[in-house]
Structure 1
Amino acid sequence: MKIGLVGLGKMGGNMARRLRRGGIEVVGYNRSSAIVEQLADEEGMIGADSLADVVAKLDAPRAVWLMLPCGEPTEQAIEALIPLLDEGDTIIDGGNANYQDSQLRGVMLADHKINFIDSGTSGGIWGLANGYCLMVGGEEEAVAAIEPVLKVLAPADDRGWAHVGPIGSGHFTKMIHNGIEYGMMQAFAEGLDLLHGKEEFNLDLAQITELWRHSSVVRSWLLDLTAEALSSDTKLEQIAPYVADSGEGRWTAIEAIEQGVPAPVMTLALQMRFASQDETGYGNRLLSVMRNAFGGHNIKDAN
């Protein structure tokens, strides 16, 4: 099978490598030509210098997989592809799009008789070696046509990928997946912070996280990665206390509000990321002022 792959960043580039090593022909395009040339030389990927060139080098019915930032970059690529593709061709969005945007894109592309598939894609930089977890939304026939690609990207033919429902369901499932991820990360961070703060015990966090990896109920890949990081640096003094949020945590919190479903762990984990991003600390300054006003508590000088 041959597939087009647009966006060859960290994940997209490794997906191209995994597909080629699994026997899938890949026509790849990226705004920066250096990675296109590198993957062509190293993996035998077919390089393209434009979206039109990608389409021209594919066999009908064509399938083009996008690994682009959500929002405008993805929207622009889809709009540019529409006049280049034919009835029965397929666009797959493997980025972290809002599921509602995916639903709208599915309707729009259906008007052009172009199939749309939304694939929530998890695995990060480890996907090349371990495979990707693929949460796929779309029409049955369209998804069946790209099964060979899904099976190569996944850890195995029979696991790590699933057609979870109609268009939009793949990105919705990935959104909730990321909300859960936020909560898990926050719980580990808080627990390890408490261990670190118990100075009288002088606990070795590298030892403890490695210990938890074996037969503990909290063992997980996230714990594996944490233990590996702490094995070389437990102080983390060179790491800024700033945690970005990609957007999917926000969408999960909004979804919880719209459904009226209590999701305090995921929502609070998102709020804690916001707190880490507050460079001015204005809210905390106000708290200090209020404590001083009603209780006479000392205010710490910023200098």
Structure 2
Amino acid sequence: MGSKHIGMVGLGRMGANMARRLHLKGAEVIVYNRHTEKAIALARETGMRAAESLEALTQALPTPRVVWLMLPAGEATESHIDALLPLLSAGDILVNGANALYENSIAQSQRVEAAQIHYIDAGVSGGVWGLQEGYALMVGGDKHAVNAITPFLQALAPATDKGWLHCGPVGSGHFVKMIHNGIEYGMMQALAEGFAILQGKTEFGLDLAEIAEMWRYGSVVRSWLLDLTADTLAKDQALAGVAPVVADSGEGLWTVQAALAQKIPAPVITLALQMRWASQGRDDYAAKLLAMMRNQFGGHAVQKEV
């Protein structure tokens, strides 16, 4: 990869491993985290450089600079952009790798581009496996800016020619990632429901781990999500210690809102999102009221909470 320099801001589960992968591929990575001890520890582990401030980060990067933000969407990303803009120069490139709403990314880009700094929105998928397997990268922005960071995209992706795409103008990267996550909601829900039905057919004595493992080969439902499901079931089919609560990151909701805005039916993704809400107790009141309705019209017994 040569002596290309990049600054990585935000060293959570994704950011730290992305920095590690870039470093392993030959990039000159300078890392910064709000809690500086994280950056210092990562630098000691890998040999990459740690910056103790955003000023130090930008001073250490040769121009034109490339700074990649891997921060939570919203205030964390906005505040870091505010802090970075006075420190960057015309022609520098700022990459926002958050799971951000694409409309917010477009608004951010206008503020950044007004300072003659290039803005790229990057949807990143791969989770904790990205360091080993590579990341899927969906980027939006000016062609010349994307060309400038292509070596980093190729290093992060599973292969130089696979797993990354310049989707279109600013906003398109986060839009494509948003839809990707909406599809993920639906696929996960279908697998979970199917295995729940299998588990409920107790008279057959089905081995869910064996079924999942068998489906991984030749089946039309084979997928990485099925691989992960098979691994989970091989370790513990009962899942007795797992609370039935599933968080939602926001991208499923944004996908549904985009479908509504375009009047495109998306019932699978919509219901998968609503099932996540239900798991968080947001259907509890409705369920209680349904029980009381059945009691009123049919005299059906109402179970009391213990």
State the TM bucket, normalised to the shorter chain.
over 0.9
Equivalences for residues 255-270 of structure 1 within 5 A: 255-270=258-273
Runs of 4 or more, structure 1, over 4 Å off, are: none
Structure 2: distance between partners of 1:103 and 1:37: 33
Structure 1: distance between partners of 2:265 and 2:233: 33
What is the DSSP-based 3-state SS (H/G/I as helix, E as strand, rest coil) of the residue aligned with 2:281?
coil
User: Is 1:165 paired with 2:155?
Assistant: no
Contact 2:179 2:255 in 1 (8 A): yes
Deviations 1:71-128 (A, max 9, x none): 0000001111110001001110011011000011111111111100000000000000
Root mean square deviation, CA, Å: 0.9
What does residue 215 of structure 2 align with? 212
What does residue 128 of structure 2 align with? 125
User: Is 1:199 paired with 2:205?
Assistant: no
Quote the offset at 1:279 in angstroms.
Answer: 6.6
What is the DSSP-based 3-state SS (H/G/I as helix, E as strand, rest coil) of the residue aligned with 2:162?
coil
Equivalences for residues 116-265 of structure 1 within 5 A: 116-265=119-268
Contact 2:277 2:283 in 1 (8 A): no
User: Is 1:72 paired with 2:82?
Assistant: no
Structure 2: distance between partners of 1:35 and 1:132: 22
Q: Aligned letter for 1:31?
A: R
Contact 2:58 2:65 in 1 (8 A): yes
Quote the offset at 1:280 in angstroms.
Answer: 7.9
What does residue 45 of structure 1 align with? 48
Mean alpha-carbon deviation: is it higher for 179-188 or for 275-284?
275-284
What is the DSSP-based 3-state SS (H/G/I as helix, E as strand, rest coil) of the residue aligned with 1:127?
helix
Equivalences for residues 62-101 of structure 1 within 5 A: 62-101=65-104
Quote the offset at 1:204 in angstroms.
Answer: 0.7
Q: Aligned letter for 1:55?
A: T
Correspondent of 1:106 among 101, 104, 109: 109
Mean alpha-carbon deviation: is it higher for 30-39 or for 223-232?
30-39
Structure 2: distance between partners of 1:53 and 1:97: 26
Quote the offset at 1:38 in angstroms.
Answer: 2.1
What is the DSSP-based 3-state SS (H/G/I as helix, E as strand, rest coil) of the residue aligned with 1:277?
helix
Quote the offset at 1:205 in angstroms.
Answer: 0.6
Deviations 1:18-46 (A, max 9, x none): 00000001110012223212221121111
Structure 2: distance between partners of 1:251 and 1:212: 32
Structure 2: distance between partners of 1:294 and 1:141: 68
Quote the offset at 1:216 in angstroms.
Answer: 0.3
Structure 2: distance between partners of 1:220 and 1:38: 36
Structure 2: distance between partners of 1:159 and 1:23: 19
Q: Aligned letter for 1:90?
A: I
Q: Which runs of 5+ in 2 are unaligned?
A: none
Correspondent of 1:276 among 267, 276, 279: 279
Q: Aligned letter for 1:167?
A: V
Structure 2: distance between partners of 1:35 and 1:111: 32
Structure 2: distance between partners of 1:32 and 1:128: 22
Structure 1: distance between partners of 2:296 and 2:198: 34
What does residue 13 of structure 2 align with? 10
Please give the TM-score of this superposition, normalised by the length of structure 2.
0.98
User: Is 1:33 paired with 2:36?
Assistant: yes
Q: Which runs of 5+ in 1 are unaligned?
A: none
Mean alpha-carbon deviation: is it higher for 27-36 or for 139-148?
27-36
Structure 2: distance between partners of 1:263 and 1:300: 35
What is the DSSP-based 3-state SS (H/G/I as helix, E as strand, rest coil) of the residue aligned with 2:8?
strand
